[in-house]
Structure 1
Amino acid sequence: MKQKRKTFDFLLMFPPLILAGFGVVMIYSASMVTSYLDGNPAYYMMVKQLIWLGLGLVGFLFACFFNYKFYQKLTKFIILFLILSLVGVMLFGKTINNSQSWIIIGPFSVQPSEFVKIGLVMYLAAVYTNKQEYIDDFFKAVLPPLVVTVILLGLIVQQPDIGTAGIVFSIACVVIFSSGIKFRHLSFLIVIGLTVLIMLSFYMVTDEKISRFTGAYSPFQDPDVSGYHLIQSYIAIATGGLSGMGIGQGIQKLGYLTQAESDFIMAVVAEELGIIGVVFVIGCIAIIVLRGFFIAMKCENKFGSLLAIGISAMFGIQTTINLGAISGLLPITGVPLPFVSYGGTSLLVSLFSVGVLNNIARHVNYQRTYRELETTTSEADDTNQNKKKFKVYNNKRIYKVNQ
């Protein structure tokens, strides 16, 4: 039983669960007034998030115990599911906030582009693991998987969801770089990818998208329209100070800060819990990301290593973009904060992904524990043999003395 316990990586288990529970509390605090004004109970969004949290915990536990190596055999089915779901969004999706990214299932809305993040990581990790023997061959090893990546990115961009497309593109670059391809090949891919994304952005440019850039970098030029959201975020962050106003006591969520329970949840945390709350959230996510990279370095299985790198990069990149948006360092793109923001699909994918990371960690820890036992057993056997030799030698000496 003790040896089984040693295989669990508690640094990867507790932080995401604590953040998910913390997120439910903050979502209730951020949404209770607006939910009531919309004609719903004050706990409306909290209850919906709790339901998704229950589903996410099931996915988390399943991923913790399901051998991650089997995903390597399922990548074709995973990619087929991702493409079909994104095509389904294009045909039957619902438009929310000028983006056709959701499929409505009963009282819930599902965002298939969230599944692309973990699904594409699994696909790229599996493909580049199988191509290690000729990884330096650009046209044979590197290029073919990029066709699938471009198809997925194209389907996401046309929704349009530039924020998610940027995250998926960044994660893909990290996994491809970690697979061992030549630096010049990676540089070429990054230049081409960024060029295509910029061209698409200009092709699909609208006044609303331009306002996101002006609102991010010149918010006070148009404080009532393009800069409104960021200015309200600034006020929330500045008001919180060191320890905040207390949970439930924030002012900006009372109709001033839009999307307070999702995109701007960290601004609410800053206002109600201060710098202490912000450091707590960032610290928990940092533990997950750094521990994930550490597990990736220790994993001897190439697929497991690339998978751990991709998942860790996913959390790190998404957190950076979300925090950059609320602080004015990046344009507002509607990217949620992992584990904390309101959003069922995001929470489900995040918990499942960290469950996969835990499963990789369990295999790494099991191998380490097994080797420690093997070494201990070997040393014990050597000691026993030496004791036997010493005993025989002593008996012979005693016999000679008696003679």
Structure 2
Amino acid sequence: MLKKILKSYDYSLIAVIAVLSIFGLVMVYSASMAFAVQRYGVAPDHFFQKQKLFLIGAAVIFSFFAFFPYKIMRSTRLLAPMVMMSLLGLGGILIFGKVAGNAQSWYQVGGVSIQPSEFAKLAVIIYLSAVYAKKQSYINEFNKGVVPPLLYLVFVCALIMIQPDYGTAGIIILIAMAIILSSGMNWKNIFKLIGIGALALIVFSLALHDKIFSEERLQRVTVLEDPFKDELDEGFHLSNSLLSIGSGGITGLGLGKGVQKLGYLPESHTDFIIAVVAEELGIVGVAFVLFCIGFIVLKGIYIGMKCKDPFGSLLALGISSMIGIQSAINLAGVSGMIPLTGVPLPFVSYGGSSIIQLAIASGILVNVSMFANYERKFKAKQAQNPPAPAMSEPIRARR
């Protein structure tokens, strides 16, 4: 049986995740060398060494969740503590959290920063997938099958918005929408949810008008028109990002030879790491990153469509949508298509919380794929060729 299970793993998916993560480690080293010395006065490989430790831990966590049967996670004994821990983590950060970048979104534990909203994304995926899979028989009963699971989503997003971190809250809402659209719910209820969501957004915007539409946030929108017009102030991040992207050409300036990361491009190893990739490795490097991320997302969608278990199917679709949505928002922000939101690029950007959360998510995705392949390859064959019935003792005696 173990041999059959090992044969059922999708090794192409595992390989792409591993290669992209190692590529990200190399780019973190290249992007953070000058930043580490100039900003913190530490060794040039400071962030590289920390990311390397994160990746080693992530590999162990990934292996555990790749072997851990995902179906156990829909148990109430696991779901209830997960829900409570995510809410307590998000609530506690408002009291004990560290403020950075005008947001109180991190716990500082020694030299490591932990961002609970990263893990809240995964908690929402697991919870909504488990509950909507369990409610399949009455998924179209609005008050009983549709609304109750969304109360948890509302609490999570409210706690994240209070920090304030509207970008992460928006990503979680988009992920939830992807799961809802995949749950089998009819369009009547989906349109009801869209209407209620739009009304809630209007009320929320009016109630917090001064915070949401503050001068600083509005400048993030207006700067998109011409970031070079105010390149030393509001357009500083975006204009230097565009210079990095534009100077790379087809093959780039060469690994480690980028100029913008030398004090011009802020957060070069986190939110803007794709700009460093474009400058040093050109279109070729960016295409490699897009191919790997696209492969993971499309493979996740394929797994979700092929999996016969509703819980596994929604899990795969939710995880792949999370990776795809977050990647799209990061790339669009760095290239000036949408306002900057401070969202890291999955598997590539520096960050312990992000890489550990992705290790859990991708491990679950690989596990769902394994079970789907196992049931399709081996259980189907077993059902087609059942073993011959054992001969009864009386017949044996007569013979």
TM-score clears 0.5: yes
* Structure 2 CA distance for partners of 1:183 and 1:149, relative to 1, 3 Å: same
1:204 is aligned, of 207, 211, 222, to 211
1:193 is matched with 197
1:26 is matched with 27
Q: CA deviation at 1:224?
A: 1.9
* Structure 2 CA distance for partners of 1:203 and 1:181, relative to 1, 3 Å: farther
RMSD: 1.7
2:14 is matched with 13
Matched, 1:155 2:163: no
TM-score of the superposed pair, with normalisation by structure 2: 0.91
**Within 5 Å, which residues of 2 pair with 1:278-289?**
278-289=286-297
Identity %: 44
1:394 is matched with none
Matched, 1:292 2:300: yes
Distance 2:190 2:226 in 1: 34
> Contact 1:297 / 1:305 at 8 angstroms: preserved in 2?
yes
> Contact 2:5 / 2:370 at 8 angstroms: preserved in 1?
no
2:41 is matched with 39
Q: CA deviation at 1:195?
A: 4.8
**Where does the alignment leave 5 or more consecutive residues of structure 2 unmatched?**
389-399
Matched, 1:133 2:140: no
> Contact 1:3 / 1:369 at 8 angstroms: preserved in 2?
no
1:365 is matched with 373
1:399 is matched with none
Residue by residue, what CA displacement relative to the aligned partner does 1:335-391 show, whole Å, maximum 9, x if unpaired?
A: 00001001110011011100000000000111122146437857x99xxxxxxxxxx
Distance 2:219 2:27 in 1: 29
> Contact 1:322 / 1:335 at 8 angstroms: preserved in 2?
yes
**Within 5 Å, which residues of 2 pair with 1:119-130?**
119-130=123-134
TM-score of the superposed pair, with normalisation by structure 1: 0.91
In our comparison, the structure showing a higher alpha carbon Rg is 1
2:60 is matched with 58
**Where does the alignment leave 5 or more consecutive residues of structure 1 unmatched?**
382-403
Partner secondary structure for residue 104 of structure 1:
strand
Letter in 2 for 1:42: P
Partner secondary structure for residue 257 of structure 2:
coil
Partner secondary structure for residue 223 of structure 2:
helix
Distance 1:247 1:189 in 2: 48
Letter in 2 for 1:117: K
Distance 1:143 1:186 in 2: 11
Q: CA deviation at 1:230?
A: 1.1
Matched, 1:226 2:211: no
Q: CA deviation at 1:226?
A: 1.6
1:307 is matched with 315
Q: CA deviation at 1:213?
A: 1.1
Partner secondary structure for residue 338 of structure 1:
coil
User: After alignment, is 86-95 or 213-222 more displaced?
Assistant: 213-222
Residue by residue, what CA displacement relative to the aligned partner does 1:133-157 show, whole Å, maximum 9, x if unpaired?
A: 1111111111111111100000000
Aligned residues: 380
1:48 is matched with 50
1:257 is aligned, of 265, 268, 285, to 265
Matched, 1:213 2:221: yes
1:81 is matched with 85
Partner secondary structure for residue 163 of structure 2:
coil
Letter in 2 for 1:102: W
